[in-house]
Chain A
Amino acid sequence: MKTRFTKAAAAVAVAALTAFPLFAAGRGSANFQNFVAIGDSYGAGYESGALNANHQVFSWPAIIARQVGLTLCEPTAVATTNCFAQPLVSGPNNELTLRDLGGTITPSAGGGSPLMLTFGRPYNNLSIPGATVTDVITLTGKSTEGAASQLVLRGLGTEVQLAAAQHPTFIAIWIGGNDLLGATAAGMPALLTPTDKFKASYEAMLDQLIAAAPSAGMVVGTLPTNAQAVPYVSTIPPFLVNGTAPVLGPDGKPIYYVADLGGGNFGQLPAGSFVLLPALAKIRTGYGIPAALGQIPPFNQLPNVGKPLADSDVLTPTEAAAIVTRANEYNAVITAAAAARNIPVADIKGLFDRVVVNPATGAGGINVGPVRLTNAFVTGGFFSLDGVHLTDLGYILFANEYIKAINNGYNAGIPLASITQVFANNGAMFGHEDDSKFNPGSFSITSSAAAQMKAVWSFASASRRFRAASH
């Protein structure tokens, strides 16, 4: 515990010391002639549990590409077409869709299929849904790997190798989220990538890129340190609720759910615990509800009262704190590695901090034009319906943090991307028809993208939040 604390303190100190060089000149220059991006599902434009072209055009690398004047590749593009290429997938690819204000969320019927599998050069956007830092330098898309890396890499090489092969003039990188997310989504800090391994892989990634493209401009980004604020973690209270109000026990206190608190140690969740979104379906059947309530209506109607939630359904305060500590360590690695190589750092941590609304004070959230974006599920507008990935709007703000870092580091003057791209009637605002989307065609083949998150979704807690938010 003590070492952790010292490490965290050191991390903060390193972050403070390295904050200044963010404004120094970045290595290389902001030349976007050959722009490549390295990343994960955020970079891929994964949204609402799906990867499809409707949202791939709002991946943060695609947004940056548009802002620097590049054209996004249409599915019909060929190797010689001068455009920013992404591994486009047809929609809806089982994208989660809100069906009613009762909060019914179900996948849209219809799979998706790769539209550019035979594209004749590596994609500019090499982001692989699910990729960790180590994956970026190891996965090559061979047939034994997951569908996502096969889709993006096609067996041609690693993300880093394919970036280097394009003689990049600018490389934008956001990686590391999955090193945190796997543990968060599974409720198990043991799955966190060790910091030493994270550091070795992150530095190897940067150094391989620099060796291959020594004069390329580069930008990286910090990681959120408040994973507990994403709707996947924050939406379900850790105690019984009637509507949004806690059900109080005889002692006048909320009745916390019963769960495996780790290592087969069962008990009621301590205050400050988190219940992960997919556990809702289990709670509906009685899991987590203390056995003492088993005879009391309406709980006596539920078959599983008295059975604990699994360790993977919850994050205890200790587990959450371990994830936060690790995230801070990763950020110290990122900022130090970037500073040592004159790479500007985008403040993604700050973006996630700002979007979070403090439930006690109501403070927080990001006001942009007429809307306020928050971390609320469904109505917050920042996180998509899978509770982890961002919306088109969220990716615009994400990309803008990168643009700010590039502008600071390279004195580049790239205009921020505007959220008016997602006005209901957007294109005309820019003096032309909507150019940010295109019709990807009507393929309907079974989904190849990760679908594991979808099965558990069908819940109603959003409706009351929505009504509260709309008043």
Chain B
Amino acid sequence: MRSLSRTFLLIAFASVAVTGAAFGSGFSIFEQGAKATGMAGAFAATADDPSAIFYNPAGIAQQRQLSISAGATFINFTNQFTGDPNDPFTSGTKGEYERHTFIPPNAYAVIPFGSNLSFGLGVFSGFGLRTDWQDPWVGRFSSRDADLKTLSVNPVIAWQTSDGRFAFGAGYEYRRAKVALNQNLALPFPNPFTGRITDIGNARLSSDWDSSSGWNAGILFKPSERFRIGASYRAPMDIDLKGKADFTQISTGSAQLDAVVGQTFPHDQGISTTIPFPAIMAVGVATTMNSWDIEFDVTHMTWSRFSELPINFETQPDVVRVQDWKDVSAYRLGLNKHASANWDVRLGAVYDENPQPTERVSPLLPDSDRVGATFGAGLHTGPFIIDGSLMVLHFLDRSTEGRNAENFNGEYKTDALLWGVNVGYRF
């Protein structure tokens, strides 16, 4: 019983340190376990550690020992915005994010009952986003800072046939989310006293934590000793968020002009929005050859659900930020080599399509197709399992090609390093 309370301590720890950065396509974070991440997330058919709760819940049926695992991914990235030389607003300008280390946590427990049934509980932050542009930022009238955090609690149950060839798993997901958006407001014409383009205010929109419910399910099939096929599904979800909008007027330097601006300047008020989350589907095939496990997965996210970001104000006219995203897939290849009795080493590669049409690439979330290479290692020593991973992720240069719908044009370059670590214990 002592061990179980320890389990919940780990989970509780995970739930306080939530912050996000977008590292699967869109604003998903697919790095929820260091072993899986070392294999580029190609894990639906392997699913042999507690992170299976995230990747394929059927996988916990094959785990016949009470086990826990907790970890985090440490995400650092570098980026640069370069203004479009053919755009009279952004030409010659640059911008970059504030440096942050994002640490989406994960914690899992697998509790087998009898010989066919397993329960599992996972806590993770499967979606998140932070685009915090350094001041002074030319795009501040579009977005200065956007911050989406989520936290999921995912109890699952899985059952396997006695020969272990078929396994099924399903679970309930409680997900909560919180979003904050920060941008500046400009005088819509040059300041008549100075001829200068002038900030007149700052808008900070922040929601409370609000939640919704979803589910996940998966199957795992082992047609032979050497082959495994897995598939999993995580249901789409909409989370309705309520919050408040704080508007702060910025002085233009003229009391008269400030008074005119003040007449129409919005007041602090309640806001609401709905964040749509995609369904995530994964299909993977894995084989074992000599000491190598090789898995290839296709993951698919229904990002077309993110057609718009509506912001409903109590007294101001509502704002709808059209997104028009599309469904996309990622292709993941992972290798796991049993190097010795205690050590595994891993390699992986991923190509992750972006869901964002060129017109919608903006400072709020400048996405791009990504290519990544992953490296990992796992150490088994006694009851402990320690996994580490490194993902080197390159976002292909993304230009708005002069077509941004909000008329903010330029090119975004982004690179990221994701260090992952998980510590597991088998009882």
Report how far A100 CA is from B256 CA in the complex, Å. 7
Contact B257 A415 (CB under 8 A): no
Q: Looking across the interface, which residue of chain B has its beta carbon closest to that of A103?
A: B192
Contact B199 A466 (CB under 8 A): no
Q: Which of B94, B138, B190, B191 has the most CB of A within 10 A?
A: B190
Report how far A260 CA is from B6 CA in the complex, Å. 97
Contact A417 B88 (CB under 8 A): yes
Shortest CB-to-CB span from A437 to chain B, Å, is 11
Shortest CB-to-CB span from B386 to chain A, Å, is 43
Shortest CB-to-CB span from A398 to chain B, Å, is 11
Q: Given the interface contacts A101-B256, A419-B197, A470-B260, does A380 sit within 8 Å of B91 by beta carbon? A: no
Which of A272-280, A364-372, A446-454 is the contact stretch?
Answer: A364-372
Q: Looking across the interface, which residue of chain A has its beta carbon closest to that of B256?
A: A101
B174 on interface, CB distance cutoff 8 Å: no
- Taking CB atoms, residues of chain A closer than 8 Å to B83 are 418
Contact A415 B92 (CB under 8 A): yes
Report how far A372 CA is from B186 CA in the complex, Å. 11
Chain A binding site: helix, strand, loop or mixed by DSSP? mixed
Report how far A100 CA is from B193 CA in the complex, Å. 8
Contact B189 A469 (CB under 8 A): yes
- Taking CB atoms, residues of chain B closer than 8 Å to A462 are 192
Considering the complex, which residues of chain B in the window 379-393 have a beta carbon less than 8 Å from any beta carbon of chain A?
none
- Taking CB atoms, residues of chain A closer than 8 Å to B264 are 470-471
B227 on interface, CB distance cutoff 8 Å: no
Q: Given the interface contacts A369-B197, A424-B197, A430-B92, does A416 sit within 8 Å of B189 by beta carbon? A: no
Contact A371 B94 (CB under 8 A): no
Report how far A449 CA is from B88 CA in the complex, Å. 31
Mark each residue of chain B from 278 to 296: 1 if its CB lies under 8 Å from any CB of chain A, else 0.
0000000000000000000
Which of A37-45, A154-162, A308-316, A389-397 is the contact stretch?
Answer: A389-397
Considering the complex, which residues of chain A in the window 414-451 have a beta carbon less than 8 Å from any beta carbon of chain B?
415-420, 422-425, 428-431
Shortest CB-to-CB span from A410 to chain B, Å, is 15
Checking A98, A369, A470 against B261 with a beta-carbon cut-off of 8 angstroms, the contacting residue is A470
Mark each residue of chain A from 355 to 396: 1 if its CB lies under 8 Å from any CB of chain B, else 0.
000000000000111111110001111001000000111001
Shortest CB-to-CB span from B197 to chain A, Å, is 5
- Taking CB atoms, residues of chain B closer than 8 Å to A100 are 256
- How extensive is the interface on chain B, given as a class? 35 or more
Contact A419 B199 (CB under 8 A): no
- Taking CB atoms, residues of chain A closer than 8 Å to B186 are 369-371
Report how far A471 CA is from B260 CA in the complex, Å. 9
Mark each residue of chain A from 453 to 471: 1 if its CB lies under 8 Å from any CB of chain B, else 0.
0000000001000110111
- Taking CB atoms, residues of chain A closer than 8 Å to B162 are none
Checking A371, A417, A431 against B187 with a beta-carbon cut-off of 8 angstroms, the contacting residue is A371
A413 on interface, CB distance cutoff 8 Å: yes
Q: Looking across the interface, which residue of chain B has its beta carbon closest to that of A99?
A: B193
- Taking CB atoms, residues of chain B closer than 8 Å to A393 are 190, 195, 197
Contact A418 B192 (CB under 8 A): no
Shortest CB-to-CB span from A339 to chain B, Å, is 25
Q: A-side interface residues toward B, CB under 8 Å?
A: 97-98, 100-101, 367-374, 378-381, 384, 391-393, 396-397, 400, 413, 415-420, 422-425, 428-431, 462, 466-467, 469-471
Q: Which 3 A-B pairs have the closest CB atoms?
A: A370-B186, A369-B89, A415-B85
Inter-chain pairs besides A97-B193, A371-B197, A415-B85, 19 sampled, C-beta below 8 Å: A101-B192, A372-B188, A373-B190, A381-B192, A384-B195, A391-B190, A413-B85, A416-B85, A418-B87, A420-B89, A420-B197, A422-B190, A422-B196, A422-B197, A423-B197, A424-B198, A430-B92, A470-B188, A471-B264
28 inter-chain pairs at a CB distance below 8 angstroms, sorted by A residue, are: A98-B193, A100-B256, A369-B89, A369-B141, A369-B186, A371-B186, A373-B190, A374-B189, A380-B189, A381-B189, A381-B190, A391-B195, A393-B197, A400-B88, A416-B91, A418-B89, A419-B88, A420-B89, A420-B90, A420-B138, A424-B191, A424-B199, A429-B93, A429-B138, A430-B94, A466-B192, A470-B188, A470-B261
